[in-house]
Each structure stands twice: as C-alpha cells, then as structure tokens.
Chains A and B, each alone.
Chain A
Amino acid sequence: MTTTATLAPVSLELRTGPRHWWAGFRSMITWHLVSLRLWLVLLAVVQVLSGVGFVLGFGLFFEQIPLSVTLFVSTGVPVVNLVMTGMVLGPQLVADQKASHSFDFIHSLPVPHTASAAAWYVVCLIGGLPAVAVSLAVAVWRYDGLPLAVTPDVAPALLLTAFTGTMVGLAVAHAITSPMVTRLVTQVLVFAMFAFTPILFPVEQMPAWLGAVNSALPLRHMADMVRASLTDLPFENLATSYAVVGAWGLVCAVLAVRALGRRR
C-alpha cells in the first residue's frame, strides 16, 4: 500500500477582505448547487408544475374566466415561484442539516456569513426564475388576450422579491434552533401565503383588518411590485411597496446573519 499524500498544506495566513468574501461566495454557490444536485431537477419540475397548476387551475373555477382574474393569477404566481425556494425549502433544508448534525460541519467552514447568505440567494434565484418564465408563458398560451406588459421594473421587482423571500427563510432557519419548530413554521407560512395573503386575489376581497395586517407584511407588496412590473395597470403607492419589501429584506438579512453567527 502506498502512502504518497503530498505534504499537508497547513493554512498559515488569515484571509480577509473582498477577495476572501468573493471566493467564499462563489464556492458556496457551488456547494449549494451540488448539494441540491439530486433534487434540482425535481425542484424545478415542482416549481414549474405548481406555477402552471395555479395558472391553469384557476380557470377551472369559472365557466368563462374574467380577464381581470387571469391577469391577477398570472401575475401573482411569479411571487409564489420566487419565494417558495428561499422561504420554505431553505428553512426545511437547514432543519434537516441540524437534525442530522451535518450543520456543524457546514457552519465550521471558513466562509463569511454574509457570503454564505448571498450564495443561497443566488441559488434561490436559480430555483425560481425558470418557473416564473414558464408560468408566464403558459398563461399567455392559455388565456387569449392576456394584457401582460413586461416593463424594465421587472428586474428589480423579481430580484427584490426573491431577496426578501430568501432572507425571511434564512432568518426563520437560523433564528429558530429546533428543527421541528422550523418545519412547523414553514408549513404555517405556506398555508398563510396561499390562504390569507392577497397574492392570487385582490386585497379588497379580504376583511379590512386582514388587509391592514397584510399591508405591514411583505407578500402583498411583493405581489404589487411584480404585478406592476408585468402589466401597465396603474398602481398607487408602489414606492411604499418597494420600501416595505426592502425593509423586510434588510431586517431579515441582518437577523439571519446575526443568527448564523450566534453562539449559544
């Protein structure tokens, strides 16, 4: 038996600064993508099917679906696609890592927490954007005359929506120490997202108090941002929506990074 291992290259110098951050960011994107390799195709398929399912499924509720409803659903589904990976799948993956004790190794890797969070954001974008495109394409194909009007605002709207969804998920994943509680919270988030947030239906159809609650939460504003960027409908207070979603994203990013670095 040969033992020809080259001499162990012991790390001597501490790495700091933007190059260290960038190297960690790139490496962690690769790490996350390879970690999801076995599931990435399945994840993409589920994302596409859920998006397409909403677009087509809502048509079954109506004998003749009003164009306003098709527009609302078609422009709400991208929000679901964008936040599902970061807000639901992400925390569940972290919960699994904690339950299997593999989280300790990942946490021991010398990567800045901000670089790790940013890398996960990129992975969530990769997991969500294709489904957004397919869902919109299917909506255009299914509903004649759908008045979609993609504006330049689509880029900031989609990027900010995915960012805030991802950061909310990271905050949930790392601020809650119990894997079981994390899983339960994500289940509640999914339920609340579909049933009690005006993503796929207008806020006017909700009780006034629930609408007011949603005004302080990010999902309604994400839907307004994305809808405004995909149509030429007039939207009031769009700046407020960007501000609310941006504030949620920033606060959750800070919470997530602090929770990642928190030592019990």
Chain B
Amino acid sequence: MPTDTAMAFHAEGVTKVYADGLRANDALDLRIAPGEVFGLLGPNGAGKSTLVKQIIGLLKPTEGTLRIGEHDLVAHPEIARQLCSYLPQAQMPIDSFKAAEAIELTGRIRGGDRATVRARTDALLEALDITQWRDELGMKLSGGVKRLVGFAMATVLPGRLVILDEPTNDVDPLRRRLLWEQVRRLGDEGCAVMLVTHNVLEAEKSVDRLAVIMDGKIVAEGTPSALKAVDRGQLRLQVMLSPGVETPESPEWVRHPVRVGNNLVATIDEDAASAGIDWAVGLMGQGTAEEYALGATTLEDVYIRLTGHAFANGEDEA
C-alpha cells in the first residue's frame, strides 16, 4: 500500500450551519490516508452528503478546514475539483451518451490523454463485465449497468480522493464483487477512497476504517473489527415476527431491539443465549413469531447501537 501520507485527506473541525440554523456538520475531524478505503456511515440527514458537498466545493463550511496534503480545498475549490473524483448517489446524466463515450469524455475532461483514457476505459469496461454495453446509449441501460458506467466515469482518471456515494445501488451481486475489486485497486494505486453507504454489510467487508456519523457528529471511528470489539461477548438475536403483530415487549436483557418490517433485531449477552432461545421459542408458540436466528454480532448491530437506526438498502439521504 502506498505510504504517500503527504497527500492524505484531512477534515478538521468542519462545521456547517445552514441559513435556517440547521447544524448539519458539527466539528467533524477525519483523516483518510492514501491507499485507504474509508467508510462513512450514518442515517438519513446525519450530515454525510453535506460533508461530501463541502469537499467537492458545492457547499462552504461555516468553520473548519478541508485539505489534501498542503492543498486547502475550502480556499481553492478549483483545486478540489482536480484532486477529487466524485460518484454522486443520483444516476449520472448520460442518457444521450454511449457508455464508453461517457467514460472516455470524463477522462478527457479530467485531463487524460486520448490513448491513456481509451485504454483505461476498455480495461474498466472489461473489469466490471459491461463491455457488451459499451456502445449502448445511457437511456437504454439498466439502472445497475448505468451505475457501473457512473463508477467508471468517476474512476477513469481518479483524483487523490475518490468519493463514492452508494456505488453499488441497483448493481447485481456478481458485478458488485467486481466493483469492490476495483475500489480496492484504487486504494492500491494510492487513492484515498471515501465510501458513503447505507449498506453496512458490504462496508464491513470492503473498508479499512469507517466512521459512523449521527446528527452531524462522528459517534464512532475505527476499523470494523475494533468497532465490533465493543460488542465482544454478545450475540445477535433476530426474530421474524408474524405479519401484522404488535412488537412484543422485550425482557431487560434484550438490548437495543429494533424492528425493520417484520424483523426484530437485538443483541444479548452470550450467557443469556439459552434464555434468548426460550424467549424466541415462546414468541413462536404464541404465534407472535415465525422463526428466529442467533449468531455473532455484525457491524450492523454496532451501527444500530450507535445510532438507534436500522439499515435498509436503497435508503436515501435527504
């Protein structure tokens, strides 16, 4: 992994207060080293998009600094646009573009020479397994393929900081794996990668470090293993409730119960495993639940504990 720490991304004391008084970011401190894939997790309205828009120069921080190496991104947004590549959560505006054409033109706009950009475009199309759509107009592409083309546009000539906002939205499982390989490769080449996502399970496998942001503040930061270590000695109890039933009252030793649809997810101590099973079986006996599962805690449980929110794929941030 490259160790060019002189070009690391730094956010120090970044605060954004909108005109209506909303404090979207509150003294955020972040550092992403070259070669590092960094996850930024948080519920809707937590302040993730506000931070990203400040980095790429769409918003101006009320206080604080944003830097890549010695370059001040707040004072010089034109430098920020050269040093950062950005895949927004929304689909790229490429209805009139052929897939390869959109990627190549973005590479040219980012300052690449024709031969380099063409070679890189071909390689990305092949690596993401979308070569068959290279001459297809964007308007005819499926959402997933369009997303992959957008990823290729954002990374055809990547900046020092690559910001990917929900890169795998709509992408099929096989090609998701290919996309994550390319994200990893960006890190290997010395890019700092900021991955903004709701997909906590994918993030757990893909990032080197992550931060959980809540109400504009970072409430946890570290490697996935370090964050999960806090929950060591605990188990995840998942109960599939019967459709339409009220959420049952949980015993005191069932921690952080959260219901998503008919799924009730909570954590329990390892020594409460037997009691947990008895409780779940009891719910099944009453007809309140249909099945249950007991297993190791995941990063999702950490996230729920920290934010009180559960994830749902495709969730949008305001």
Interface residues of A (CB under 8 A from B): 1-11, 14-15, 20, 23-24, 27-28, 30-31, 34-39, 97, 100-102, 104-112, 261, 263-264
Contacts and interface: CB of A to CB of B under 8 A. Distances in A.
A36 B96 contact: yes
Q: Is the interface of B mostly helix, strand, loop or mixed?
A: mixed
A38 B189 CA distance: 37
A105 B96 contact: no
Contacts of B139: 38
A5 B120 contact: yes
A112 to B, nearest CB: 7
Most buried by B among A4, A8, A100, A264: A8
A28 B109 contact: yes
- Report the interface size class on chain B: 35 or more
28 contacts: A1-B129, A2-B126, A3-B185, A6-B119, A7-B189, A9-B157, A10-B189, A14-B82, A15-B111, A20-B111, A24-B109, A30-B108, A34-B97, A36-B96, A37-B96, A101-B89, A102-B91, A104-B88, A107-B56, A110-B78, A110-B81, A110-B82, A110-B109, A110-B110, A110-B111, A261-B77, A263-B58, A264-B60
Contacts of A6: 119-120, 123
A260 to B, nearest CB: 11
Interface in B41-68: 53, 56-60
Given A4-B126, A104-B88, A111-B81, 4 more contacts: A8-B185, A31-B105, A34-B101, A108-B88
Contacts of A39: 96
B286 to A, nearest CB: 47
Contacts of B120: 5-6, 8-9
Nearest to B53: A104
Interface string B88-126: 111111011100010001101111100010011001101
Nearest to B189: A8
B105 A27 contact: yes
B284 to A, nearest CB: 42
B181 interface: yes
Interface of B: 18-19, 53, 56-60, 71, 77-79, 81-93, 95-97, 101, 105-106, 108-112, 116, 119-120, 123-124, 126-127, 129, 137, 139, 155, 157-160, 174, 178, 181-182, 185-186, 189-191
Given A34-B96, A35-B93, A106-B93, A5 B127 contact: yes
A60 B58 CA distance: 51
Contacts of B77: 261, 263
